[in-house]
Amino acid sequence: MSRGEPTSDSAPFFSSDSEAEGPEDQGTATANQQPDEESPSGVSRGRALVIVFVLCYINLLNYMDRFTVAGVLPDIEHYFGINDTESGLLQTVFICSYMFLAPVFGYLGDRYNRKYIMSGGITFWSLVTLASSYTPKEHFWALLLTRGLVGVGEASYSTIAPTIIADLYVKGKRTNMLSIFYFAIPVGSGLGYIVGSQVSSRAKDWHWALRVTPGLGLIAVLLLLFVVKEPKRGAVEARPENHLHQTSWVADLRDLSKNLIFGAITCITGVLGVASGVQVSRQLRKKTARADPLVCAAGLLLCAPFLYLAIMFAQASTVATYVFIFFGETFLSMNWAIVADILLYVVVPTRRSTAEALQIVVSHLLGDAGSPYLIGVISDSLRKNDSFLWQFRSLQYSMLLCAFVAVVGGAFFLATAVYIERDRERAENYAPTDEPIVVPKSGRSTRVPVSSVLI
């Protein structure tokens, strides 16, 4: 599509609900509605809120499905007779499919009706997930194929849904709604583990764990088609869609490539941080059993000053900012693999999936689920006026909270170092017992099994 050409959303099938009305219809609708009932997006405030909750429900469902397989992975390995390497491919093929198809749906989402694209993607994802539950044990490759195809549906949704929220709300309200939307990630991940393991246990068949989300996916499609309304692009930002023009995909990528420096730094520092953290911990273990939490603490405490300097130099020097970001992210990434290892060796094998689920929920709950909202609240409270300078300054100062939290995290890892040896020894030497203990009951001592009073 050439620069300056109007958007292609006027096509009959792909046109948005709000844009399908002619001038006369729009005039009539405006005359019959109160001024405060409908925003420039063409969606009333009440319906916009309902749309956000529908999108949150689907996002929750996406992550439930993604982690359901993890909840029944031992059963899958036993059923197909595969090793850890082959079972690891299930997530790899999904992520690769999801990763490479995301740009395709990003292109389509900027040009065509987003509601229909998401509906088609979720329908396809639900059918493929259901089909994967009928894979014969002789054809593990078919399960790999279907897990890869699931990435098609998730890519069609994850790349587009946030843009609908962006066209419904601005500023603080947008931040609030996106916080709710992404809060579904940790909750859905945890529910995936729980639903997968519990359904498999109750049905005595892991296949049924993969048949839960497709039914919920059908509900999601119906909600998309009959509840969600396509908002006008950019209208809530005082940039109605008829004043915006589509550019070619190459032009889009050229403009977006300005952000690639930060993305490249994040990728490189992630690899360097994880690798260096593992190596330092491995060498330090020869000297102390507390190596893992000490390395994690050192990483967070070292990253804090670099994060602080990167934020404070954001306006003064671009080069210095990128240098500080490089070192800050490298130290920040040192604990990723180590934390996962700590979790696994302080928990007995029969409870590790539950521990992983709780760790996902708690870490996201205390981290990326609420942090965008909190940063936004602090930024808005610090802003003295709506000038561009104060928009920058208030956000800059609010981001300093990240450096403070890094220090607090380092302190918690130091506290972990005090208990790590004892906790690891308890997990390694754990043995279930039914030895009776004395429990008071109605003022008298009663001997009952340990298992009856432990949850």
Integer Cα distance of 220 and 303 in angstroms: 42
Which two structure tokens, joined as six digits, stand for 130? 């259901």
Q: For 170-225, how does the pLDDT look when each residue is reduced to its tens digit (9 = 90+)?
A: 766 777 788 788 777 778 878 887 888 788 878 888 888 888 888 999 999 999 89
- Amino acid 353 reads S
Lowest average pLDDT, out of 45-54, 140-149, 186-195, goes to 186-195
Instruction: Say whether both 324 and 223 belong to one domain.
Output: no
Can you give the CATH number for the domain in which 319 is found? 1.20.1250
Over residues 103-107, the mean pLDDT reads 81
Q: What is the pLDDT of residue 385?
A: 81
Lowest average pLDDT, out of 146-155, 253-262, 392-401, goes to 253-262
The reply to whether 227 falls in a domain is yes
Place of tokens 């760790």: 359
Instruction: Say whether both 102 and 227 belong to one domain.
Output: yes
What confidence tier does 306 reach under pLDDT thresholds 50, 70, 90?
very high
Instruction: Say whether both 368 and 418 belong to one domain.
Output: yes
The rounded radius of gyration (Å) of the Cα atoms in the chain is 26
What confidence tier does 305 reach under pLDDT thresholds 50, 70, 90?
very high
DSSP line for 15-74: --TTTSS-HHHHHHHHHHS-TTTB-TTSSBHHHHHHHHHHHHHHHHHHHHHHHHHHHTHH
Q: What is the pLDDT of residue 66?
A: 81
What confidence tier does 112 reach under pLDDT thresholds 50, 70, 90?
confident
The reply to whether 347 falls in a domain is yes
Instruction: Say whether both 209 and 279 belong to one domain.
Output: no
Can you give the CATH number for the domain in which 122 is found? 1.20.1250.20
Instruction: Say whether both 229 and 265 belong to one domain.
Output: no
Containing domain of residue 53, as a range?
Answer: 39-233
The reply to whether 180 falls in a domain is yes
Integer Cα distance of 70 and 74 in angstroms: 8
Q: What is the pLDDT of residue 392?
A: 82
- What is the share, in percent, of the chain residues with pLDDT greater than 70? 79
Instruction: Say whether both 300 and 378 belong to one domain.
Output: yes
Lowest average pLDDT, out of 25-34, 243-252, 259-268, goes to 25-34
Place of tokens 């498999």: 200
The DSSP symbol for 5 reads B
Instruction: Say whether both 308 and 400 belong to one domain.
Output: yes
The reply to whether 25 falls in a domain is no
Integer Cα distance of 122 and 144 in angstroms: 19
The reply to whether 408 falls in a domain is yes
The reply to whether 165 falls in a domain is yes
Domain count across the chain: 2
Global pTM reads: 0.52
Q: For 356-405, how does the pLDDT look when each residue is reduced to its tens digit (9 = 90+)?
A: 777 777 887 777 677 777 887 788 788 888 777 887 888 888 889 889 99
Q: What is the pLDDT of residue 433?
A: 59
What confidence tier does 451 reach under pLDDT thresholds 50, 70, 90?
very low
Instruction: Say whether both 296 and 415 belong to one domain.
Output: yes
Phi, psi at 71, each rounded to 5°: -70, -25
Instruction: Say whether both 267 and 389 belong to one domain.
Output: yes
Over residues 286-310, the mean pLDDT reads 93
List the beta strands (DSSP E) in 140-183: none
Instruction: Say whether both 81 and 188 belong to one domain.
Output: yes
Instruction: Say whether both 204 and 301 belong to one domain.
Output: no
* Contact between 63 and 216 (Cβ < 8 Å): no
The DSSP symbol for 370 reads T
Which of 78-87, 110-119, 339-348, 358-367 has the highest mean predicted lDDT (pLDDT)?
Answer: 110-119
Q: What is the pLDDT of residue 294?
A: 94
The reply to whether 451 falls in a domain is no
Integer Cα distance of 150 and 188 in angstroms: 16
- What is the share, in percent, of the chain residues with pLDDT greater than 90? 16
